[in-house]
């Protein structure tokens, strides 16, 4: 039997983001799994996240609505595929809640959290259906956006602890 490493990035279709943050892993987890926290950090300023719904179960909903600085709203809906408390969240917008195919799906995210002497090793693997989708996500500012959002997550969780 061949063992496949499903977390090995594919340079043609995947984007990665990794950083060590000085916030404990359980607080990073809480930031990702609590709607009230998501509203405070999830969208890079000056954008805002104005609504969030989470059902933290496989097949459960992960829904956000983002608002642009001009006031335009962008709803996003997907579902969770795998949840390992304080360690891993896998979610996708390629499926709606209940694993129903989504007509406008874009990517699947694998978020992993590991203890680190300075806090938490935070890693994201963003998997796309093809090279075009990866390039579009990259051109939209994937690295800058996820970096700014993580900075906001860290600042928010430091303020609430």
Q: Look up residue 14 and give its DSSP letter.
A: E
User: Per-residue confidence at 98, pLDDT binned at 50, 70, 90?
Assistant: very high
Question: Given this model, what pLDDT does residue 105 score?
Answer: 87
pLDDT tens profile 128-150: 999 999 999 999 999 999 999 99
Percent of the chain at pLDDT exceeding 90: 89
pLDDT exceeding 70 applies to what percent of the chain?
96
| Pairing assessment for the beta strands 95-96 and 88-92 based on DSSP bridges | unpaired
pLDDT, tens digit (0-9, with 9 covering 90-100), for 47-86:
999 999 999 999 999 999 999 999 999 999 999 999 999 9
Tokens of 77: 């809906």
Are β-strands 95-96 and 119-128 bridged in parallel, bridged antiparallel, or unpaired? unpaired
Helix, strand, or coil here: 117? coil
Q: Is the pTM of this model over 0.85?
A: yes
Query: How many Å apart are CA 130 and CA 14, to the nearest integer?
Result: 9
What pLDDT is attached to residue 7?
A: 74
Is residue 83 helix, strand or coil? strand
Q: Which architecture does CATH list for 15-160?
A: 2-Layer Sandwich (3.30)
The stretches of the chain forming alpha helices (DSSP H) are 25-33, 35-41, 131-139, 142-160
Q: In what order do the strands lie in the sheet with 48-54?
A: 14-21, 119-128, 107-116, 88-92, 73-84, 61-67, 48-54
Which sequence spans correspond to the domains of the chain? 15-160
């Amino acid at each position: 039997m061949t063992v496949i490493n499903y977390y090995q990035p594919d340079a043609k279709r995947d984007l990665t983001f990794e950083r060590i943050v000085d916030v404990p892993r359980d607080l990073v987890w809480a930031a990702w799994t609590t709607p009230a926290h998501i509203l405070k950090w999830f969208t890079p300023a000056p954008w805002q996240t104005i609504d969030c719904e989470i059902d933290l179960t496989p097949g459960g909903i992960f829904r956000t609505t983002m608002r642009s600085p001009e006031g335009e709203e962008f709803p996003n809906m997907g579902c969770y595929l795998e949840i390992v408390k304080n360690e891993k969240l896998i979610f996708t917008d390629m499926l709606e809640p209940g694993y129903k195919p989504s007509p406008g799906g874009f990517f699947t995210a694998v978020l992993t959290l590991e203890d680190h002497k300075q806090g938490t090793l935070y890693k994201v693997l963003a998997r796309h259906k093809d090279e075009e989708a990866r390039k579009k996500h990259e051109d939209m500012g994937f690295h800058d956006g996820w970096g700014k959002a993580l900075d906001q997550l860290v600042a928010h969780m430091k303020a609430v602890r």
